[in-house]
Amino acid sequence: MENSRTWKKVATFYSLTLLFSIPFYWAALKAGLWAGGFLYVIGLMWCPGVAALATKALFHEKISTLGWQWGSNRYVVWGYLLPIIYVLPVYVIVWLSGLGGVPNTEFITESKKTFGLAGTSDGMFLVIYVLLIATVGIVQYSGELGEEIGWRGFLVPELAKVVGFKWVALISGLMWAIWHYPILIFGSYNSGTPVWFGVTCFTVMVVAMSFILASLRLQSGSFWPAVFLHASHNAFIQRIFTPLTVNTGITAYVIDEFGVGLALSTIVVAIFVCRPMPKKLFQPAETLSQAGG
C-alpha cells in the first residue's frame, strides 16, 4: 500500500512538472532561451520545485521533509568541487591536444566591456572574471534551487523508499534528462552538434550526474549539496570553460554538456563517488532534519 502511494506521488510530481513547464517551454522556444532577461528559463527551472511543493500539499505531507536543513558542510563543499573535478580535465585535454583553442580573445574583449574593465590586461581580467563567476556567479540565479527542490529534494527520497540506489539514480536521471528534451530538440540549447549526438551525450552526462547528486542527497539528508553542485556545474561549464574555448571544428563534439568528453568524465567521477555505496542510505522523513549535522 505504501509503495503504491509513493509511486502515485512520483507520477503526480512528474506530471505537474511537465504541466507547469509548458508555458515556459513555449516562451523559451518562441523567443529564445535568453529572451526576457533569461526569466523564461528561470521560470522553467522552478517548475520541478513548485511541482514538489504542490505534490506535498495534494498528499497532505509536510514540506519540511524535502531536505531544507543545511547538513554537514563537507557535503556542500564536495557539491561545489566535484564539477571542477570532472570538467577541468576535459577542457585541459582539449586545449593541449588542439581539439579546441584557448583563450577566446573575442569573448574576453566583449566581456571586458560588459564588466567595465576594458582597460585591464587580458590576464588580469581573466583572474577577476573567474573569481567572480566562481563565487558571486554561483548564487546569481535561483533556478538551480528550484530544480533541486524537485529532483533531489522530493523525487530522490521518494524513489529511495521503493527501489535501490542504482534505480533511484537511474530513474531520477532519466526523468531529469527527458524534461530537458523539448528545448534540446526544438530549441537552441545546444553547442552546435547534431541533435541526436547532443541529446545522447547530454543524457549520459545527466544520468551520471544523477548518481552523484542522489548520493549527496541521501547521505547528507539535505538538497543543498545538490544545489551547489548544479550551480557550480552550470557556472564553470557555461560561463567559464566553454566561452573561453575556441572552436576549431570538432570542438563542440568534445566539450560542453553536449560533447562526449563530459559524458565520459562524469561517468568516471560518478563511479568514484558512488562506490562502494552503503546499502542503507535513505533516512526516513521524520529523521531527515537530524541528518548530516
Helix (H, G, I), strand (E, B) or coil at 98: coil
The span from the CA of 293 to the CA of 290, in Å, is 6
Query: Has residue 55 been placed in a domain?
Result: no
The span from the CA of 285 to the CA of 25, in Å, is 33
The secondary structure of residue 254, as a DSSP letter, is: T
Task: Kindly report the pTM of this predicted structure.
Answer: 0.93
Query: Has residue 214 been placed in a domain?
Result: yes
pLDDT of residue 93: 98
194-207 pLDDT, tens digit each? 999 999 999 999 99
Q: How confident is the model at residue 167 (pLDDT cuts 50, 70, 90)?
A: very high
pLDDT of residue 1: 72
The DSSP element (H or E) to which 64 belongs, if any, is: none
Query: Has residue 40 been placed in a domain?
Result: no
Q: Mean pLDDT over all residues of the chain?
A: 93
The span from the CA of 18 to the CA of 16, in Å, is 5
148-159 pLDDT, tens digit each? 999 999 999 999
Mean pLDDT of 227-231: 98
Q: Which domain holds residue 144?
A: 67-290
Mean pLDDT of 157-165: 97
The span from the CA of 149 to the CA of 155, in Å, is 9
Domain count, the chain: 1
Cα dihedral 123, 129, 130, 133 in deg (nearest 10): 180
Query: Has residue 171 been placed in a domain?
Result: yes
Q: How confident is the model at residue 38 (pLDDT cuts 50, 70, 90)?
A: confident
* Residue reference for cell 521503493: 162
Cα dihedral 244, 249, 255, 259 in deg (nearest 10): 150
CB 242 within 8 A of CB 255: yes
The span from the CA of 272 to the CA of 24, in Å, is 36
% of the chain beyond a pLDDT of 70: 94
pLDDT of residue 284 exceeding 60: no
Q: How confident is the model at residue 279 (pLDDT cuts 50, 70, 90)?
A: low
96-138 pLDDT, tens digit each? 999 999 999 999 999 999 999 999 999 999 999 999 999 999 9
pLDDT of residue 33: 82
User: With 0-12 CB in 10 A as exposed, 13-18 as middle and 19+ as buried, what is 85?
Assistant: middle
Residue with the bigger pLDDT between 146 and 2: it is 146
Query: From the CB of residue 5, how many other CB atoms can be counted at a distance below 10 Å?
Result: 13
pLDDT of residue 274 exceeding 80: yes
* Residue reference for cell 536543513: 69
pLDDT of residue 277 exceeding 70: no
Query: Has residue 9 been placed in a domain?
Result: no
Query: Has residue 75 been placed in a domain?
Result: yes
242-268 pLDDT, tens digit each? 999 999 999 999 999 999 999 999 999
Query: Has residue 2 been placed in a domain?
Result: no
Query: Has residue 188 been placed in a domain?
Result: yes
Helix axis angle, 165-185 to 195-220, nearest 10° = 140
